[in-house]
Amino acid sequence: MARNFPLWAAFCLLARVAGLFLLLGTGADAHAVLIASSPANNDILAVPPEKVLLRFNEAVRAVRFSMVAADGVTRGISANSTGAEVKAVLPDPLADGTVIFSYRVVSEDGHPIGGSIVFHVGKPSARSSDVSDISAKALHVVIWLVTIGSTLGLAIIVGGAFFNCWFSPAGARRQSPTFTAMAIMLVLAGLYLQGLDDLGVGLVWSGLEPIAEVFSDQTGVAQCLKLVAIVLAVLPFARHPRSARLASAAALVIASLAFTLTGHSSIAQPRFIAQASIFLHAAVLLFWIGSLPPLMSLSRSTEDPRPLRFFSRLIPIPFVLMLLAGLLLAVMEIPRIEIAWSSLFARVLAVKVGLVAVLCGLALYNRFWLTAPALAGDPVARRRLRWSIGSEIGLALLIVAAASLWRFAGPEQYQYAHAQPPVSLHLHGQKAMAELEMTPQPDGTADIRVSILTSEFDPMQPRSVSLGLRNTLRGIEPLKYGLTNAADGTWVARNLPLSDIAGWSVDVQVLIDDFNLVHLEGDLPAETD
C-alpha cells in the first residue's frame, strides 16, 4: 500500500480539491453597491429636487431609469453616468407627495444592479402598490438554469475535445450534433436573457433591444467567444490529429478567455494578474468536467489502459497551478469582500463546502484504491470506478449549479449602510411623561417606540397616542402618525421617513381620557455617539 500512496500524490490531490474550492469561493465577489444618493432614501423635502444623484462603489453604466410620482404615473427618466456617479434630471414641475425613483445600472463586471429611492416632497402620500416582481424572479430562475446548462455544455464539448485529442486520440468520439446544437442554443439564450436582465424588463419578449444592450459591455463578447470555442471544438479534423490537437487547444483557450471578461474578479487590481488567474481557473474547470464522460467510457474497456494511466499521472499538475492561482485571487479579493453570514453568499458557500468535502473523498478513493486495480483489469474495481466517475459527474452538475448562484449573491442596496445607535429622548409634562426611543434602520427609515408614564413614573395606559414631527430647518410642516399599542404596553410606529434626525422636533400627543389631551414636546439630538 505504501507504493500506492506516495506523499507527492497526496499533496497533488489535496491541491486539486483545494483549487476547486478556491475556484468556487472567489467567484462570489461583491457586485457594485449604491453607497449614497441625493435625495437620500426616505428623505422629506420642502422643495422638489431638480435631479437625483447616485454614487456607487465602482464605475457603472446607466441603463434605465423611471419615476412614479404622487399621481401614480410612471415616467421614463434620462440619465448619464460618469465613473461611479450617475445623474438623472427630474421633470418639472414635480407635484407634492411620495416619489419612487427606480434605477438600473450595469457594473464593470457585467452584473445589472437595480433598486429604488423613495423620497417625499412636502407631506408623504400613500405609496403606489409595488409592481409584481414575479416576472423578474422568473427571469432569474431561467437565467440560473440556462447558465448551468450552457456551462456544462461548454465544458463537455470543449474540455471533452481537448481530452480526446491529447489523451485518447485513438478512442476519440465526436459530440452528437443534437447536443452541440443544444449547447449553442443555450449560449444564445443566455445572451438574450442577460440583455433582458440588464434592461430590467422581466421575462418578456423585447425584440432586439436586449441584444443591443448586452453588447454595450463585454458580456456579449464573452458569449460570442463561447460560441466560437464550441464551433472550433467540433470542426471535422479527425483525419489530421495534429490539427485536431491545435483546434482543441485553441477552443479551450478561447473558452477560458470568455470567463476573464465578466465577473467581479476580472476587474480586480492588478487586472492582468487577476485575469490570468481566472483564465487558469476556467481552463482547469472546463478540462476537468469535460474529461469525465470520456473517462467513464474508458473505464468500460480493457483494450488500452494508457489514456487512463496517463491522465491519472498528469492531472495533479494543473490542479497545483490552479491552487496557486486561487490563493493569489483570494489575497487580491477577500479583503474587499464583507461577508454577512445570514446572506445568500453564506448559504451558497455552505453548500459548496459540503460538495467539495464529498469530492475530496471520491478523489481519494479513485486515485489510491481504484485506479491501479482497474488498470490491472480487475472487473470489480472497474465497476466501482465507473460508479465513482458517475458520482463525480453528478457533483460537477451540483457544483456548477451552486456556482451559478453567485450571480444573484451580491450585496443588497443598503447592506453596508452604517448602523446608527438608537436615540432616546425623555419628555416630561405635568400629567404624563414619555420615554421615546428611535431606532434608525439601514434603509433610511426609523422605528419609534414610546412608553407613557404618569408624573410619578408609574405605567399609564392612555386611550391613544400619536406622534407629530416637524423640521423648521427644512421648512417641513408637521407630520402626524398614529402609534399602535404593542403587547408590552408601549406605543410603536415603524418605517417612519427619518433618514437624518438633525433638526427634527417631536410632539407626543397623549389622550389620557375623553377630556385630557397632553402634548409632550422636545427636539431630537443632532448627533449620536
pLDDT band at 268 (very low <50, low <70, confident <90, very high): low
User: Mean pLDDT highest for which of 68-82, 244-258, 275-289?
Assistant: 244-258
17: number of Cβ within 10 Å: 19
Residue-wise pLDDT for 342-387, tens only, equals: 556 667 767 877 887 787 778 778 777 887 788 777 888 888 888 9
Residue 384 lies in a domain: no
Task: Confirm if 140 and 146 have CB atoms less than 8 A apart.
Answer: no
- 472, part of any domain: yes
**Residue at 221 is within a domain:** no
What is the rounded CA–CA span in Å between residue 415 and residue 105? 18
| Phi, psi (deg, nearest 5) at residue 101 | -105, 115
> What is the C-alpha to C-alpha distance for residues 1 and 11, in angstroms, rounded to an integer?
17
| Alpha-carbon gap, residue 254 to 363, rounded angstroms | 28
Mean pLDDT over 437-450 rounds to 80
How far is it, in rounded angstroms, from Cα 366 to Cα 388?
7
- Cα-Cα-Cα-Cα torsion 52, 57, 60, 65, nearest 10 degrees, comes to -30
Out of 106, 125, 144, pick the residue that ends a domain.
125
Q: Is residue 316 part of a domain?
A: no
488: nearest Cα among 449, 527, 528, 445: 449
CB neighbourhood size of 377 (10 A): 10
Compare 405 and 415 and report the one with higher pLDDT. Answer: 405
CATH code, domain carrying 478: 2.60.40.1930
Task: With respect to residue 256, please indicate whether it lies within any of the assigned structural domains.
Answer: no
420-447 average pLDDT score: 83
Residues in the chain: 529
How confident is the model over 476-486, as a mean pLDDT?
A: 81
One-letter amino acid of 74: T
Domain's final residue, options 125, 150, 181: 125
Counting DSSP H helices and E strands in the chain, the numbers are: 13, 18
Q: Among candidates 132, 104, 103, 96, which has minimal Cα distance to 117?
A: 103
Residue listed under C-alpha cell 433598486: 115
What is the reported pLDDT for 87?
Answer: 92
Q: How far apart are CA 99 and CA 128, in angstroms?
A: 9
Are 42 and 497 spatial neighbours (Cβ–Cβ below 8 Å)? yes
pLDDT of residue 22: 42
pLDDT tens readout for residues 386-408: 898 889 899 989 989 988 887 77
- Alpha-carbon distance of 101 to 492, in angstroms, equals 28
Q: Which cell goes with 518? A: 397632553
Task: Compute the average pLDDT of residues 337-342.
Answer: 50
Query: How far apart (Å, rounded) are the C-alpha atoms in residues 495 and 283?
Result: 49
Is 38 within a domain?
yes
Whether the Cβ atoms of residue 45 and residue 424 lie closer than 8 Å to each other: no
- The predicted model gives 80-91 an average pLDDT of 89
pTM: 0.67
Closest by Cα among 214, 147, 156 to 187 = 147
- Residue 88: which CATH number? 2.60.40.1220
> What DSSP designation does 459 have?
B
Q: Per-residue confidence at 181, pLDDT binned at 50, 70, 90?
A: very high
What is the residue range of 115's domain?
Answer: 34-125
Domain edge (last residue) among 64, 98, 125: 125
Q: Where are the beta strands (DSSP E) in 25-143?
A: 34-38, 43-45, 51-56, 60-68, 74-77, 79-82, 85-89, 97-107, 112-121
Q: How many domains does the chain have?
A: 2
What tens digit of pLDDT does each residue of 206-252 get?
888 888 888 887 888 999 999 999 999 988 755 677 888 899 999 99
Task: Encode burial over 175-189: b for 16+ CB neighbours within 10 A, e otherwise.
Answer: beeeebeebbebbbb
Answer whether residue 76 is part of any domain.
Answer: yes
Whole-number mean pLDDT of the chain?
78
**Mean pLDDT: which of 128-142, 161-175, 394-408 is highest?**
394-408
> Which pLDDT does position 173 carry in this prediction?
63
Mean pLDDT on 501-521: 86
Q: Give me the DSSP letters along 79-96.
A: EEEETTEEEEEPPSS--S
Q: Where residue 133 falls among pLDDT bands split at 50, 70, 90? A: low
pLDDT, residue 158, reads 95
Neighbours of 15 (CB within 10 A): 20
Is 46 within a domain? Answer: yes
3-state SS assignment for residue 304: coil
Q: E strands of 390-526, at which residues?
A: 423-428, 433-440, 446-453, 464-471, 476-482, 484-485, 491-496, 505-513, 516-523
